[in-house]
Amino acid sequence: MATLRGTARVIGYCILLALLAGVIGCAFGVVYTRQESRRLFTEYNELTKERDHLNYEFGRLELERATKAEINGIEKAARESLGMISPNSANTVVIRR
Amino acid sequence: MTRRELFQFDLPGLRAQRDAQPAKAAPARGARRWFPIQLNAFAGGDAPKVKPRQGTVNLKRRLAVVLMILALAATALIVRAIDLQWVSKDFYLDQGDQRYVRDLKIDAPRGTIFDRNGNPLAVSTPVATIWADPSTLVQHAERIPELARALNLDANALSQKITQKADKQFVYLARHLNPDAADAILKLGIPGVDKQPEFRRFYPNGEVTAHILGKTNVDDVGSEGLELAFNEYLAGKPGSKSVIRDLHNRAIESYDVDLDVPPKPGRDLTLSIDKNIQYLAYRELMAAIKDHKAAYGSIVVMDVTNGEILAMVNQPSFNPNSQNPNIPAKDLLDHMRNRAATDVVEPGSVAKAITISAALESGKWKPDSRVDTNPGTWQHYDHVVHDHRNVGVLTVTGVITHSSNVGAAKIGASLSRDQMWDMFHRFGFGETTGSGFTGESPGNLRIAKLWGPVEQDTISYGYGFSVTPLQLARAYAAIADGGVLHTPTFVKGGGDEGKRIIDKKIADEVLAMLRTVIAPDSTAPKAAVPNYFAAGKTGTSHIAHNGGYRNVYNSVFVGFVPATNPRLVAAIVISGATGTDIVQYMGGTVAAPAFSGVMQGALRLLDVPPDNVKNWYAGGPGPDPLALPKLPPEPAVDPNVVGEIESADP
């Protein structure tokens, strides 16, 4: 009977110790995940900012492309620098598909 | 003075008593009573001998009192603790959060507007607005000149502004700066100066697309044109997220993800407008107005088959990217109006095509029926209808070819007013086109029972009712599309099936008549488009003014190409062309060349196959009307090749 009670006490201590260890481990875990979440949050923010920035850059470049591909400019370049002309009917062939 | 002394300083009486005590016999424990002793002590001098207290002290009662006080104190503490931790918890949490949690706005840019080929027409670009907290900045007044230099402002004026608003927390210093420029200013590290990201609408094509797109106000909300009509669709909804910030105001952690609102970026809009045709139309309109010293004008180009608007330009225009300092304020609204949709003109002879449609439908007239227009005037009731010159006996086709007012009036007079009104109404006159453009005018067409016979005459040749250029383009598109009227749309793919308003046979007959107009001895030889058959009608009308007419004219041309298989319709209205002779402001002189110019370019841009290669020779005046093939066009010898290479160049 006495041994049984002793064993029970030992088991009780063991559980207590395990719980204590668990609590401490858990506490460290909380600290770690919190730290990690902050790090990831910062990273996420930075990446979002970069994404937005790249989007704006893309929009800007698209605008620039549209300006460069301006039909008047192309026509001018074709006519003046390259000496191109629009074909008249004498040298037009229409192929119907 | 030590803390202890400080404490005791407040009790000089007690000290006096303590000093006096040793000399006397200590009274029996419990015999001391505070009250008389203190009184005596305060009275100064030696305290009289304390009388031994009579009766026993009630220790229990004293203990109870002390315990009660302690219990009360403890209760107070507990109550306070409960109050802090439980009852007012939200308030204190909130207060705490306010000191380290911040809501960050997540911007959602307005959607981009593209043309039909994906070219951006309106783009929101990020800009930065520099603002200041005057209450902070005023304490660092010595840095204001430095700030003024960076902002390109006058130092004295800035200083005055800051001082005047020293009790405020917010003042704009510069709005809509380039983000890099704003960062350079922030790098100066002047206290109380910060930036706020904003978006600004940018229109790369400026005044060319200004009337269609309209503009947004300084807060990026549509205020005119399609920006206004599609504001709900284009506008983004900014989101927000709560973050925990650190000492340096950096966001370090998300506060509560559930509270975050994701931003809803604005949707992109793809218009039916073709940027290149738009440019072309604008250029031709500018040229026509300049050549004929006209006041204002509009061009509308539409796809015949589905009602998509490919180009819509007006003069005068404005620059949506600036505040237009060059335009006097009273004229600005005139410059900003999209005349093609909001302004009405009397269409003049252009309306004859509709009158003829009604005539053909009535069965009373055939294209080759004859009408006598001699002697070039016609007295009907108290009104005299004039022709430009006497064109004698005409066929119905000839009335269109030579644009005879007398012929049109006589044909119109043979119809009932209900028949005519019905036809004009079916062509969409007198009601808005349904394009969805804000402020579009329905034009003006009185109901038939209000028409007198003279009014019916004038309406036959295009006076006495008014239409927008957009309505004209739409009506002629219906003739071009075999009698099917489409609802004009500004959105790519937004065209509709259309509804049939006249028989295909009648539409084709009218189309054939309209083809005769673009011929060397007809009214609009200058509208000819090389390599293509074109069809159309000129119109010239006095501009109504104060209930009468003054000698200012609208020069109108509405037409479509290629006539054998119509694809594009254009309506051109140019007003106020100056000249001494009627020829100088007639539609065929002023508006027709612009039609030719716009269509040449547009057909090339859209790769529409030519249908008239053989009849056109290099540098020639255009198709010979006598060689017009019967509809449908004569098939080419080789079904794959229309026209031959005649030059020897490989």
- Measured CA to CA, the distance from residue B396 to residue B414 in angstroms comes to 13
Domain ranges, residue B531: 276-321+340-627
Residue A97: its pLDDT value, please? 67
Both tokens assigned to B415: 């119809």
Contacts of B616 in chain A (CB under 8 A): 88-89
Kindly determine whether residue B647 and residue A56, on different chains, have CB atoms separated by under 8 Å. Answer: no
Estimate to the nearest angstrom the gap between the alpha carbon of B42 and the chain centroid: 89
Q: Give the type of residue at B114.
A: F
Same-domain status, B427 and B572: yes
CATH number, domain of B363, equals 3.40.710.10
pLDDT at A6 over 70: yes
pLDDT digits (tens, 9 = 90+) for B225-243: 999 999 999 998 888 888 8
Nearest residue in chain A measured CA to CA from B127: A56
The answer to whether position B5 is within a domain reads: no
Partner-chain contact A42 B254, CB within 8 Å: no
| Tokens encoding A44 | 């996420």
CA-to-CA distance for B507 and B512, rounded, in angstroms? 9
Judge whether B331 lies within some domain: no
In-domain check, residue B53: no
Q: How far apart are CA B614 and CA B624, in angstroms?
A: 11
Strand locations in B147-232 (E) = 171-177, 193-202
Residue found by looking up tokens 């005879």 in the block? B404
Verify whether the Cβ–Cβ distance B123 to A63 is below 8 Å: yes
Place of tokens 């599309």: B481
Q: B141-145, B214-218, B440-444, B613-617: which range is least confident on average?
A: B613-617
More confident residue, B179 or B595: B595
Q: Which pLDDT does position B321 carry in this prediction?
A: 86
Cα(A21)–Cα(A83) distance, rounded to whole angstroms? 86
Residues of A in contact with B251 (CB under 8 A): 41-42, 45
> Do you find a cis peptide bond into B525, omega within 30 degrees of 0?
no
Nearest to B639 among A41, A59, A96 (CB): A96
pLDDT at site B187: 84
Closest CA to B176 of B130, B127, B132: B127
What would the two tokens of residue B22 be? 């040793």
Over the stretch B47-84, which tens digit does the pLDDT of each residue have?
555 666 666 778 889 999 999 999 999 999 999 999 98
CB contact under 8 A, B610 and A96: no
Q: How far is A34 from chain B (nearest CA, A)?
A: 9
**pLDDT tens-digit map of B561-604:** 999 999 999 999 999 888 777 778 888 889 999 999 999 989 98
Q: Pick B11 or B348 by higher pLDDT.
A: B348
- Grade residue B37 by pLDDT with cuts at 50, 70 and 90: very low
CB atoms within 10 A of CB B512: 17
Residues A93, B644: C-beta atoms closer than 8 Å? yes
CB contacts of B645 in chain A (<8 Å) are: 90-93
What is the number of structural domains in chain B? 2
Distance from CA of A3 to the nearest CA of B (A): 46
Confirm whether B647 is a catalytic residue.
no
Angle at B158 between CA B200 and CA B201, to 5 degrees: 5
Percent of chain B with pLDDT over 90: 41
> pLDDT tens-digit profile of B494-512?
888 889 999 999 999 999 9
Query: Domain boundaries in chain A?
Result: 2-82
B124: left (phi over 0), alpha (psi -120 to 50) or beta: beta
Q: Which of these is catalytic: B317, B349, B460, B575?
A: B349
Identify the residue among B114, B123, B604 best suited for mutation to test binding to A, counting A beta carbons within 10 A and taking the highest.
B123
Which residue is closest to A49 within chain B, CA to CA? B106
Same domain, yes or no, for B483 and B526? yes
pLDDT in tens, A28-81: 999 999 999 889 988 988 998 898 888 888 888 888 887 787 777 888 888 899
- Judgement on whether residues B289 and B179 belong to the same structural domain of the protein: no
* Listed range (B39-53, B290-304, B404-418, B507-521) with the worst mean pLDDT: B39-53
Distance CA B69, CA B61 (A): 12
SS3 readout for B498-534? CEECCCHHHHHHHHHHHHCCCCCCCCCHHHCCCCCCC
Pair B565, B472 in one domain: yes
Pairs across A and B, CB distance < 8 A: 87
Calculate mean pLDDT across residues B323-333: 84
Does residue B396 share a domain with residue B258? no
User: Could you tell me the CATH number of the domain that includes residue B144?
Assistant: 3.90.1310.10
